[in-house]
Amino acid sequence: MVLHPFVDIHTHNTESSSKVISVVNCYPNPLVNSYTYRYISVGLHPWHIFPEKWNQDFELLTRYTEQKNCVSLGECGLDRLKGPHIKLQIEVFVKQIQLAIKCSKPIIIHCVKAYDLLIPLINEYHKDQIFIIHGFNSKYQIAEQLLKYSCFFSFGRALIDPRNKKLHHLFKTLPLSQVFLETDQSEIPISHLYAFASECRNETTEQLKKSLYKNFYSVFSPNKL
């Protein structure tokens, strides 16, 4: 029997393990040696957009996307609770979608209270671009709209909250071909998320690992590196 690795598509944790494929989130910062990670995603997070320097950061970001280990743009997106004015957030986000299209990489999205703005953008660009909503913890109605555009849903710590029954139900109903798991900023091991998720979907952990590994290959195309 082939044992598949765990896949953690969005983490800020830089420890590596041979049993886990991690996509480490990086912010364009020349002081950080992002070459040490096997796979990275790079983006301008809405919390880190500064009106006086985002143009410069965007240029740096463009250079990061040329790195061999860069498999995705993001996390980037829209946040109504934190960050600069939403108009500026949209401008910077759209530039990142266009960059992702140009370099044929998926994009990992951070979206807080802004699905009404995100969905029209996905509608505009989905034919050329793969969108992954990270840390998904929203209503069924939102998921339903996103499913129309073949978006991907990545679940993190909110999924294992025993009180989050609605999210468990939603997770069970989504096609496995559009699902990912992630640790993000939490210390929870990815194996723990897989154990919970496989029980929730009534599958073995090995089956889930196989499916999410397949998703990883089709979305992030690491073989093209």
**Which stretches of the chain bind Zn ion, using CB under 5 A?**
184
Least CB distance to Zn ion at residue 184 (A): 4
Least CB distance to Zn ion at residue 152 (A): 15
Report the residue number whose CB is nearest to Zn ion. 184
Give whichever of 109 and 201 is closer to Zn ion, judged by the CB atom: 109
Give whichever of 4 and 78 is closer to Zn ion, judged by the CB atom: 78
- Write the DSSP string, the chain: -PPPPEEEEEES----BTTEEEEEEE-S-TTS-GGGSSEEEE---GGG--TTTHHHHHHHHHHHTTSTTEEEEEEEEEESSSSS-HHHHHHHHHHHHHHHHHTT--EEEEEES-HHHHHHHHHHHTTT--EEETT----HHHHHHHHTTT-EEEE-GGGG-TT-HHHHHHHHHS-GGGEEE--BT--S-HHHHHHHHHHHTTS-HHHHHHHHHHHHHHHH-GGG-
Least CB distance to Zn ion at residue 182 (A): 8
Give whichever of 42 and 201 is closer to Zn ion, judged by the CB atom: 42
Give whichever of 8 and 184 is closer to Zn ion, judged by the CB atom: 184
Least CB distance to Zn ion at residue 12 (A): 6
